[in-house]
Amino acid sequence: MDILNHILSALPLIFSIDVIIAMIIGTAVGITVGALPGLSATMGIAVLIPLTFSMEPLVALGMVAGIYNGAMYGGSIPAILLRIPGTPAGIATVFDGYPMAQKGQAPLALKISLISSAIGSAVSAIALLALAPPLAAIALKFSPADYFWLALFGMTTIAVLLSSNPVKGLLSTCLGLVVGIVGIDAMTGAERFAFGSMDLLSGINIIVLLTGLFAIPPAIDLAVQHLSQQKEAPIDNKKASIRWRPFIPVWIKSSIMGVVIGIIPALGGNIAAVLAWNEQRRSDPDNDQYGKGEPKGVAAPECANNADTAATLIPALTLGIPGSAVAAVILGALLVHGLRPGPQLFRDDPEIVFGFMLTMFVTAILMFVIGRVGARAFVHVLKAPTMLLAPMIIALAVVGIYSIHNSMFEVWLMLFFGLLGYGMERLNIPTAPAVLAVILGPMAEESLRRALLISGGSFDYLVQSWISWIIIAMTAVTLIVPMWKRFRRLKPSRGDQE
């Protein structure tokens, strides 16, 4: 009942004129960003956050929701027309989308993609609204010790699962922990890693790190690549009709897969899309048509990758544990607006958090409307010259960061993180664990200190509750399973050599 009351009280807020405009702009920008190969939802949100600094929280979050949902659909446009997924989540759309376009069915493929994406996003938003509040209520019972283990679980999971080499993932986590330490220690007042600099005393703003790590490397990539020279598939103007009824089971199955995969940390939309496409092909008796332009082969991945979006936010909003880079960036957006992710968010700011979840649903519908109305315009986005876009992204990131505190120091810091992030990407070191550690590191440290204060300095308190033990077991499994898999993979290759 409480959930319904909160939804009803948030409804008038999200239908205010400024939130609606923000959602429309966000969705259009999201589709555009997603349609540009090399740019992702993470990058789009990272660049946008500084611009939303002076906005009301719900206006900013409405825009973020629009970008997130829109980018997931936008990624399918170049996947269908150019055989290049605009975002990693669009990878499976290529399999049947591009063959459809080559047969002259590009408008139909884009329409199937749009409808499937909108359905996936809507189901995901409903799952978020239904699952997040009860999970947050459970999380309110967590002790500081449980929170300490939870933060540790979040950091290790992402570090180990996001990288093919856990050592590199954990090194990225250490970088984030160090960045989170910089400044005055809130509990003791001691200066840490500030080196006497006044600019570092108040710590490193998470937005500076986010923009640097997620906006600058794609800009450099755009400057280096020649993506706009790809050959576009022909677009036939004739209207194609299709029966939608056979798509219903595809949407149901793919939505469920997307939601479940979204909740699991470190999997993400690309995995949801590939698994949904594979499952669709496996379960269809007419499966030899897949990969040759089967419309259901477009519906399944697009529905699944969009069903992943809001579901990813379930652990992020309820526990403060982002399961992906984009969820970490969205948590950054919440922090910028003075909202601390976690169960207390549902208690302290229910209108904002329920409003944000509702905007995820509304933007799913907006995405369908904007996608239909602006279909032609979004296709033209593919012609945008990347050599012109790259310096524009730098200019936008610079003014966005400068406008936070009118500080050139932060602009330099952002560029430093940008170059560092680019270097990390070249060395196959994932950047998401660093961002996660900036958020979770202070949470882990504060929870540990509070736990020790409560217990009078005894470490036994850390392993007294059953919740702590469950989280410790999950952390151990997360660390051991990939190592075991690596070991198993190595074994036959040794045998082969012998």
Residues paired with residue 191 on neighbouring β-strands, in sequence order = 184
Residue closer to another protein (CB basis): 264 or 402: 402
Instruction: Based on the shown chain and the rule CB under 8 A, indicate whether residue 409 belongs to the binding site for another protein.
Output: no
In the bound complex, what is the minimum distance in angstroms from residue 488's beta carbon to another protein? 19
Instruction: Based on the shown chain and the rule CB under 8 A, indicate whether residue 388 belongs to the binding site for another protein.
Output: yes
d(CA 35, CA 380): 10
Residues 174-213, one symbol each (x = binds another protein by CB under 8 A, - = not), give: xx-xx--x---x-xx-x-xx--------------------
Cβ pair 325, 44 in contact under 8 A:
no
Task: Give the count of residues interacting with another protein (CB under 8 A).
Answer: 47
Subset of residues 33 to 72 that bind another protein, contact rule: CB under 8 A: 51, 54
In the bound complex, what is the minimum distance in angstroms from residue 361's beta carbon to another protein? 28
In the bound complex, what is the minimum distance in angstroms from residue 469's beta carbon to another protein? 22
Residues 333-372, one symbol each (x = binds another protein by CB under 8 A, - = not), give: ----------------------------------------
In the bound complex, what is the minimum distance in angstroms from residue 461's beta carbon to another protein? 15
In the bound complex, what is the minimum distance in angstroms from residue 411's beta carbon to another protein? 6
Question: How far, CA to CA in Å, does 257 sit from each of 273, 308, 313, 357?
Answer: 9, 8, 16, 20
d(CA 442, CA 434): 13
Subset of residues 439 to 498 that bind another protein, contact rule: CB under 8 A: 441, 445, 449
Residue closer to another protein (CB basis): 286 or 460: 460
Residue closer to another protein (CB basis): 196 or 338: 196
Place of tokens 């990539």: 221
Residue closer to another protein (CB basis): 317 or 413: 413
In the bound complex, what is the minimum distance in angstroms from residue 170's beta carbon to another protein? 5
In the bound complex, what is the minimum distance in angstroms from residue 418's beta carbon to another protein? 8
Cβ pair 320, 434 in contact under 8 A:
no
φ/ψ region of 234 (left if φ > 0, alpha if ψ in -120 to 50, else beta) reads: beta
Determine the interface stretch with another protein among 66-74, 268-276, 382-390, 471-479 (rule: CB under 8 A): 382-390
Subset of residues 120 to 179 that bind another protein, contact rule: CB under 8 A: 165, 167-168, 170-171, 174-175, 177-178
* Residues making contact with another protein (CB under 8 A): 51, 54, 165, 167-168, 170-171, 174-175, 177-178, 181, 185, 187-188, 190, 192-193, 219-220, 223-224, 385, 387-388, 390-392, 394-396, 398-399, 402-403, 406, 408, 411-412, 415, 419, 423, 426-427, 441, 445, 449
